[in-house]
Structure 1
Amino acid sequence: MIRLMPGGPMDFLRAQMSQQVGGQMTQAEMDRKLELFTNMHPDRPLHEQYFGYIEHVLSGDLGRSIWYNEPVAEILGAAMPWTIFISIVSLVVIYAAGVSLGAIMAYIEGSKFDISSSMLSIVITSVPFYIVAIVLVWFLGYQWGLFPISGQFGENVRPGYNTAFIQSILYYGALPIISLVLAGFGRIALSMRGNSIQTLGADYLRVARLRGLSQRRIALRYVARNAFLPMYTGMMISIGTLFGSSIILEQIFSYPGVGYYMFRAVSSRDYP
């Protein structure tokens, strides 16, 4: 599908080389140099190029980026920790906030807090995360200047296991994390509320109350544990969703993770 898009890396590099060498080389000479440089053979059938690529991947060679002129494995190795950081922290906060709110809503079902929280969760869940991200960038970044709008950490911070570096990456990653949390915790809260209400009506809870168990023990050992069990599958799906959303999110915040480089690769037709 990527090969069917108009343009390609050869066109881009050919234009660059034409600007640099002018009329000193013929078109055929430029094509030969480009094939050697990119290790691509556009004259071969597409299936041969594909199986050649798979063969290299299975041997551990992901190729060399045409745009950055660096090994793909090194680019991904440097970018992957940042995407994992954003995704994992967001997932933990989404489920911590959603499960806690949903459990409280279930325990006081029908109250003003339950009704207002349910309405708010429905509204927030219906808003795409990238809309939330753009709003946060505009107000908290551009207008008020409370958070940085690009980068992974401060320029004057020395990378390493030190307090200043950890604080800096949390500060620079705050807006992407907040965007995912605001767009995602409402769905978890509504799911936890429904599961908890269903669990509260179970017979074994009546037996637990008759045994004289404390409300705290009933809430944590019986209600919360059994209400959360059906949400494990959703959690696994959420991991894939968060990694997929990183392509758009990291582009909005200019956050150099895997999604950021993936978007640049598609834009420049950087096939490797």
Structure 2
Amino acid sequence: MSTQYIAKRFGRALFTVFAVISLSFGLTRLMPGGPVDALRAQLIKQNADMSMSEINQRLATYTNVQPDEPLYVQYFQYLGSVLQGDFGRSIWRDVPVMAVLGDALPWTILIMTLALLLMFGIGVSLGAVLAYREGTTFDLSGSVVSLVLSSTPYYVAAILFVYILGYQLSWFPTGGRYGTAVEPGFTLAFVTSVLYHAALPVLSLAITGFGGWALTMRGNSISILGKDYLRVARLRGLSERRIAFRYVGWNAILPMYTGLMISVGMAFGGSVILEQIFSYPGVGYYMFRAIGNRDYPMMMGAFLLITLAVVIGILIADLTYTKLDPRIESGGSDEI
């Protein structure tokens, strides 16, 4: 992989982040009743005895811009603060936005990572079995189930789980990151409680997500099973196990790799509704609450964090795909 290729991909990622920051700033500032105007009106209403200079100072604290400066000056002030990791101060919580999001981020990463690993692992395994049993009753029933589940929105499963398994049967908790009686720390009781509280959010994503991966894996595997190089491999006396894993499985999974890395970033966007349903305090939960409380600094900070996750996921896919599949870098077309 050349230095020019890496620089080009990093440049594209930085440009995307820069464009999102610019658009989010411009759209919120230029629309009537934007965050600065709304926050100014809210502060005036709540603090009738404060002077306008004090109001502007409070605005600068919350939004990282001087509201009496020209728009382009405010933009550079906001851009400089964001690049330093300062998204302003939360109106709703009255604490720095990064303090809230920094505390919430590991919990969102936890449930999204577990869900993606489960759905991808189950989907790839099921898809491979369906391909090898193409045309059988198992293939037909498995494909139908996968299609139905992949067409079901994750929030529908989440609502059913929280109502049936949470409220009706009381098998799982319906909120929180861990039990209130458990002391945080690297102990078995704490880890067990964390996984117990994350079970329903993870299952909601995994059950409705593995079907799409299974169908993709099935289609990729079927297309590879008819290749001539597999016949040559059998003539060479290679075992079916090695052919299945080394030739069929690897070549079928490779096209799915980019989609998996993009899903890592996109999962953060899906966390907004999921974490609200389960009252799970992650990035999505605080973004949803910020919308209801008109907390613009929190909303913009969470939005930029989700955007950054998507960009990083795509960047990692770009930089690592050629390592997994040398044909991309060499321009070859022979299967491995």
Residue 17 of structure 1 deviates from its aligned partner by 3.8
Match of 2:40 among 10, 27, 33: 10
Matched, 1:138 2:163: yes
Distance of 1:262 and 1:180 partners within structure 2: 19
Structure with the higher fraction of residues in helix conformation: 2
| Structure 1, gaps ≥5 residues long | 19-24
Extract structure 1 runs of 4+ deviating beyond 6 A.
none
Distance of 1:44 and 1:269 partners within structure 2: 23
| Structure 2, gaps ≥5 residues long | 1-26, 298-336
Distance of 1:47 and 1:255 partners within structure 2: 38
Residue 72 of structure 1 deviates from its aligned partner by 1.5
Q: Secondary structure at the match of 2:296?
A: coil
Counterpart in the other structure of 1:82: 107
CA contact (8 A) 2:112 2:264 kept: yes
| TM-score in terms of structure 1 length | 0.89
Structure 1 residues 17, 140: closer, same or farther in 2, change over 3 A?
farther
Counterpart in the other structure of 1:22: none
Residue 45 of structure 1 deviates from its aligned partner by 4.9
| Worse overlay, 44-53 or 97-106 | 44-53
Residue 146 of structure 1 deviates from its aligned partner by 1.1
Match of 1:225 among 240, 250, 253: 250
Match of 1:114 among 131, 139, 151: 139
Structure 1 residues 199, 257: closer, same or farther in 2, change over 3 A?
same
Instruction: Report the aligned-residue RMSD.
Output: 1.9
Residue 76 of structure 1 deviates from its aligned partner by 1.4
Output one character per residue of 1:225-255: Cα deviation in whole Å (capped at 9) or x when no partner.
1111111111112112211101111111111
Q: Secondary structure at the match of 2:260?
A: helix
CA contact (8 A) 1:9 1:268 kept: no
Matched, 1:35 2:56: yes
Distance of 1:119 and 1:111 partners within structure 2: 13
| TM-score in terms of structure 2 length | 0.73
Q: Secondary structure at the match of 1:173?
A: helix
Amino acid at match of 1:189: A
CA contact (8 A) 1:149 1:254 kept: yes
Counterpart in the other structure of 2:266: 241
Distance of 1:60 and 1:119 partners within structure 2: 46
Output one character per residue of 1:72-112: Cα deviation in whole Å (capped at 9) or x when no partner.
22111101100111111111111100000000001111111
Structure 1 residues 17, 180: closer, same or farther in 2, change over 3 A?
same
Q: Secondary structure at the match of 2:89?
A: coil
> Which fold has the larger relative contact order, with Cα–Cα distance below 8 Å and residues 6 or more apart in sequence?
1
Structure 1 residues 268, 42: closer, same or farther in 2, change over 3 A?
farther
Match of 1:50 among 75, 80, 83: 75
